[in-house]
């Protein structure tokens, strides 16, 4: 094993996206007249994940994703939609404030920094993800952040990995290791690109025609794989 570059997913791998999403959603929905319930949060989460999956599969654009979520929410819960960009902008502003880290992420990056190239690969919006990462306290241990909006394609499109390799300048794919929580984005990116992967957490792996190279329950276990 001769990994040189560790490609960490951001949300639910390094940063606590669930906490950031719930906080941002509650603030925004309350502002626009919703009486927020757990069922409402659950419905939004399912809707959002479905739309992101469609985006990752190339079935919709980011513009369609962004401008579908809240009209659907308003229609479902009987709240007037205030018009394009209003709810969306308020949500993004609040979401960008969510920079809580996943347990152990800071310790892991600190221990690995200097021994490996530490890269962050994330599907998301530049304005939101750059702010969240910069305020998380993790950036001193990160060499570069690749954000799908800036790259021009989303994980798992192999062109995303092509962009990483072009930036690094090392074309030997055996030197790269993708680490993330999503079969559809992170592990599929590795499968599509010929790069080894680590699945973090409890995502279902049945039903896929590809599998992660390694599987760990918590991020801290990544060091055991690297020590090999």
Q: How far does the chain reach from its first CA to its final CA, in angstroms?
A: 7
C-alpha–C-alpha distance, residues 118 and 133, integer Å:
13
Find out whether 70 and 27 touch, Cβ atoms under 8 Å.
no
Biggest CA-to-CA distance, the chain: 56
Angstrom CA distances, 208 to 28, 140, 187, 192, 226, stand at 36, 36, 10, 13, 25
Number of other residues whose CB lies within 10 A of the CB of residue 110: 13
Q: Which secondary-structure segment (H or E) carries 121? A: strand 117-122
Task: Tell me the HSE value of 179 on the side-chain side, using a 13 A CA sphere.
Answer: 26
Find out whether 193 and 79 touch, Cβ atoms under 8 Å.
no
90 in active site: no
Question: Phi/psi at 80 (nearest 5 deg)?
Answer: -60, 135
Point out the catalytic residue in the list 9, 90, 157, 181: 9
Q: Which secondary-structure segment (H or E) carries 179? A: strand 176-180
Residues with active-site annotation:
9
């Amino acid at each position: 094993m001769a990994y040189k570059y560790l490609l960490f997913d951001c949300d639910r791998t390094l940063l606590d996206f669930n906490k950031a999403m719930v906080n941002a959603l509650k603030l925004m929905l309350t502002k626009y007249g919703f009486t927020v319930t757990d069922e409402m949060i659950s419905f939004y989460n399912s809707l959002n994940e479905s739309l992101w999956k469609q985006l990752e599969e190339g079935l919709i654009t980011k513009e369609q994703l962004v401008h579908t979520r809240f009209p659907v929410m308003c229609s479902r819960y009987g709240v007037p939609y205030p018009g394009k960009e209003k709810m969306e902008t308020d949500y993004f502003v609040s979401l960008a404030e969510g920079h809580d880290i996943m347990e152990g992420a800071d310790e892991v990056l600190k221990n690995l920094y200097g021994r490996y190239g530490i890269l962050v690969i994330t599907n998301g919006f530049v304005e939101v993800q750059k702010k969240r990462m910069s305020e998380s306290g993790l950036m001193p241990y990160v060499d570069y952040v690749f954000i799908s909006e800036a790259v021009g394609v989303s994980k798992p499109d192999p062109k995303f990995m092509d962009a990483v390799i072009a930036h690094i300048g090392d074309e030997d794919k055996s030197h790269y290791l993708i680490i993330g929580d999503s079969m559809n984005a992170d592990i599929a990116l590795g499968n599509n690109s010929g790069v080894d992967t680590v699945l973090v957490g409890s995502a279902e792996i049945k039903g896929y025609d590809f599998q992660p190279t390694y599987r760990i329950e918590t991020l801290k276990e990544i060091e055991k794989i690297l020590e090999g």
